[in-house]
Amino acid sequence: MERTGGGLCAGRVVAVTGAGRGLGRAHALAYAAEGARVVVNDLGVGPDGAPAPDSPAARVVREIEEAGGTAVAHGGDIAAPDGAASLVDTALAAFGRLDTLVNNAGFLRDRMLVNLAEDDWDAVLRVHLTGHFLPLRQAAAYWRAEAKAGRTVTARVVNTSSGAGLAGSVGQGNYSAAKAGILGLTLVAAAELARYGVQVNAIAPAARTRMTEATFAATMTAPRSGFDAMAPQNVAPLVVWLGSGTPSAGVTGRVFEVEGGRITVMDGWRPGPTADKAARWTPAGAGTAVRELLARAEPPRPVYGAGR
């Protein structure tokens, strides 16, 4: 981590969930390098959500401090109301404010649908989707109170979805559903919180982490010209910019795919070809109309792992 003069996020307080490793760690280090004070959250569990022997949050805090930055560790469960509340409370107690929330925590329990147990479904939705909702709700309540008290709020939220949420992924019905839900939550939060000075966006990153190492292992090639396209550090610059104050002003309710050196604005669900009879269709007539519409429509994005 190299600190830059002043920094894009100088003076801001940023909380990053799941920041002990992978993408979250890269985000935390990048924010600190740009002058932010960082709350490093990590529950310290394995990639399947089971308890790990030690929490990495303190190690990331030490990395930030050794580079001249400022950070505190938070080990609470952000998918539980008390843990989400203590995340915001930690920022306020340590730094007196909270400006940016990066929701990143997650894990996998992959199964084909016919083998997917309810516990595995519930656990993944809890950590990914509820783990976005609860910290967002807690932070939003703080920012709303600040705005109502007459104080200027320049708050930012960066949520973490996935290509699985945009297109689906074979063997990841629980994960895909949770990540798609995060996109819906992002759009609603952006609309509801704008009046309080809060911008909410989402990313769909592709990077090599504990969650994706098995996926990328078969397709990984040696970095060209020293550039490792799958490094988590490639995603962090966009996340830092989205979490900044004035530089990112006016950008909200958007979803970005980011991988290596590529950033793409995702358009989401938009109306395609339409047929309007101005009367009730018969089943056969509806079928004929659908066939004609599909012939004019763009083909859907392939589901990951479908072998097309």
Element (H, E) at 16: strand 13-16
Which residue is catalytic, options 55, 86, 161, 162?
A: 162
277 in catalytic set: no
CA-based diameter of the chain, in Å? 70
User: CA-CA distance, 29 to 97, in Å (whole number)?
Assistant: 19
Which residue is catalytic, options 31, 55, 175, 244?
A: 175
Neighbours of 271 (CB within 10 A): 5
HSE (side-chain half, CA atoms, 13 Å) at 230: 15
**In the β-sheet with 198-206, what is the strand arrangement from edge to edge?**
70-74, 37-41, 13-16, 100-102, 155-160, 198-206, 255-259, 262-266
196 in catalytic set: no
The burial of 159, by beta-carbon neighbours within 10 Å (0-12 exposed, 13-18 middle, 19 or more buried), is given as: buried
Distances in whole angstroms, Cα of residue 302 to Cα of each of 167, 271, 307? 7, 19, 9
User: CA-CA distance, 80 to 130, in Å (whole number)?
Assistant: 8
Closest of 33, 60, 26 to residue 236, by C-alpha: 26
Which residue is catalytic, options 31, 55, 142, 179?
A: 179
CB 236 within 8 A of CB 30: yes
CB 235 within 8 A of CB 191: no
162 in catalytic set: yes
CB 90 within 8 A of CB 72: yes
Neighbours of 276 (CB within 10 A): 6
User: CA-CA distance, 98 to 282, in Å (whole number)?
Assistant: 56
Tell me which residues are annotated as active site: 162, 175, 179
